[in-house]
Structure 1
Amino acid sequence: MFAAELNGKIPTSLQNHEDVLTSSVVGTFQYLSSPTYIQSLLKSCVNIMETQLTFASSFKECKFFFWPRLEKSEPDVLIHIQDEKDRGYLICIEAKYWSDKSSKEDLSVDFEERKNTQRDQLAREIEDIHNSENLRLLNIKKNIEETYLIYLTNHTSMPSKEMADSIHLINDITFTQEQLYWLPWRKIHNFINELVHFLTPQDAKLLKDLKSLLERKGLQSFDGFRNRHHIESVSINGYTYDTASRLSSWDDIQDVTEVVREYGRVTY
């Protein structure tokens, strides 16, 4: 599927499909040689309080569950993590590409009567990942010390209101704003772009292909004028404007002589 996407062989109907994107992007990290990569990426997440996600110790093992069917929901990814001190973490990832939450809270219906489709999607998922029976069915037996939900979206700024609304709609579970994090897709591209060393050649190949896929889908940040080539002079309507032959920042743009137009008269 990965190669097909990179070579434009995916049917149009699937190109913007969130599940395909999630599988290609998040799925890549489970095949890398070390959980160091996913741990480093997760540090790019920030919560509503604008605090980065941190961990006390290095990851030892990560187990990925894609689209697990839980009692009230089907989150995109669950990651069960054990660190080097045998502390357990459970991270739920809900990924959105162009869509919003699949369901929102219908306050016109009494809570006891609301169906899953009438409940806030993130609230349902948070309730599910705290349900011991759900964890048992996934064979997650070790104690979980911390539980987080990561909202992976294509927003240009944090969807704080959406996230806060979900927290307020959680039922019978203690879950704070500090536990709900946001990660924009473009941060994954940034993370790969900033990597200098790879643990294995295969890691380098996988992450290079993933970076290309994100660029193909436009999921990268604007990188300024780095390595952009420009014509040194441009003539418009008889006036010549000089530009830098190679722009790496706004400071590289040379000043243009001021042109003042006063009632049809041009002065310099």
Structure 2
Amino acid sequence: MTIAEIHGKLSPHEHMEDLLSSDVFSTFKYLDVNNGLIPFLKKATSFKDNELPDFLVDIVEADYVFWPRTTYLNREPDVLIILTKKDQSTIAILIEAKYHSGKSNTHREKDATDKENTPLEHLDGDQLAELFKELQDGKIYIGDPIIRDKFIQSSGNRYLFFVTVHYASPRHDIEETFKVLQKKQYFNQNHQKLFWVNWISIIGVIDEVNSRETWKNAPTMRYLLEDLKALLQRKGLVPFHGFTIPQRKISIPKFLFWEEVEKVDQTLFSGIDASKLIKAEQYFWMGE
């Protein structure tokens, strides 16, 4: 699908965030975890204080669950990733990705109830706040029993990553989520477990990985990253490195404003001849 998209064969669907999430995270799935996913996640910053995620060390394996459903508030995040460390401890990363759309907030009635007709403990329909609650409460359906056990083991080490196209952290969305979490007294010390990262940073990750990795033992893995880079470039998800100063020399025309024209054998003044200007003269206002 990625190659078809690069060649414009999926044009009606290119704006879909589900397709972008699939392109990116399915590529990471087939790469060594430290040659794609982890370098990308390390580009993230904390919602609260812009700190980097220093817990992403000694990662040896990643398990992916695409579009899982939460079992209480019925949300559908993009990807749940379970990371396994060298010591066999686990970390859960829940990805909520956006492309052209904003947060998918939901209007919930104050007296809403769950399936058992008991009051629904929601977070005012804020998508990120509700996903964060479901993640911390372990309310995510996982069919694979091995991955489910790893998720259960990750209690206390669960993080929500918000992925967007913004160059800078989308403060409005983040502050809105903060207010809901604080209002519902669900924040505590967990504010350090919410992170933001942008799609644009992936191209830098690809360049970093390819610069240090020879791919001697897996030469075809380079193609996965090259295809992903081509796709991101097609979508315009590229870093901005500022403007460059043009090197071209600008020639001064003979006339600075208009050219002379001839009419009825007369030369009508219609401009200033640049070659006859005297730098010392003042042509508009006289100095005192």
Query: Could you tell me the TM-score, scaled by structure 2's length?
Result: 0.73
Identify the structure with the greater strand proportion. 1
Superposed CA offset, 1:34-71 (max 9, x none):
44431122110001201011226311110011111222
CA contact (8 A) 2:65 2:142 kept: no
CA contact (8 A) 2:68 2:141 kept: no
Q: Give RMSD over aligned pairs.
A: 3.2
The secondary structure found in structure 2 opposite 1:208 is helix
Unmatched runs of 5 consecutive residues or more in structure 1: 240-258
1:112-151 paired onto structure 2 within 5 Å = 112=112, 119-134=125-140, 137=143, 139=145, 140-142=148-150, 143-144=153-154, 145-151=156-162
Whichever residue aligns with residue 148 of structure 1, its letter is Y
Superposed CA offset, 1:180-203 (max 9, x none):
111011111121123312343222
Q: Does 1:223 align with 2:223?
A: no
1:43-62 paired onto structure 2 within 5 Å = 43-48=42-47, 49-55=49-55, 57-62=57-62
Alpha-carbon deviation of 1:176? Answer: 2.4
User: Number of paired residues?
Assistant: 242
Equivalent position of 1:77 in the other structure = 79
Equivalent position of 2:271 in the other structure = none
Unmatched runs of 5 consecutive residues or more in structure 2: 114-119, 256-278
Equivalent position of 1:211 in the other structure = 229
Equivalent position of 1:250 in the other structure = none
Q: Distance in 1 between matches of 2:111 and 2:27?
A: 39
Q: Distance in 2 between matches of 1:4 and 1:260?
A: 65
Whichever residue aligns with residue 204 of structure 2, its letter is N
Percent of residue pairs identical: 29
Q: Does 1:183 align with 2:197?
A: yes
Whichever residue aligns with residue 19 of structure 2, its letter is V
Equivalent position of 2:15 in the other structure = 16
The secondary structure found in structure 2 opposite 1:161 is helix
Q: Distance in 2 between matches of 1:191 and 1:33?
A: 14
Whichever residue aligns with residue 134 of structure 1, its letter is I
Q: Distance in 2 between matches of 1:148 and 1:129?
A: 8
Whichever residue aligns with residue 190 of structure 1, its letter is G
- Alpha-carbon spacing, 1:47–1:105, altered in 2? closer, same or farther (3 Å): farther
Of residues 249, 253, 258, the one that matches 1:233 is: 249
Q: Does 1:163 align with 2:174?
A: yes
Q: Distance in 1 between matches of 2:192 and 2:65?
A: 23
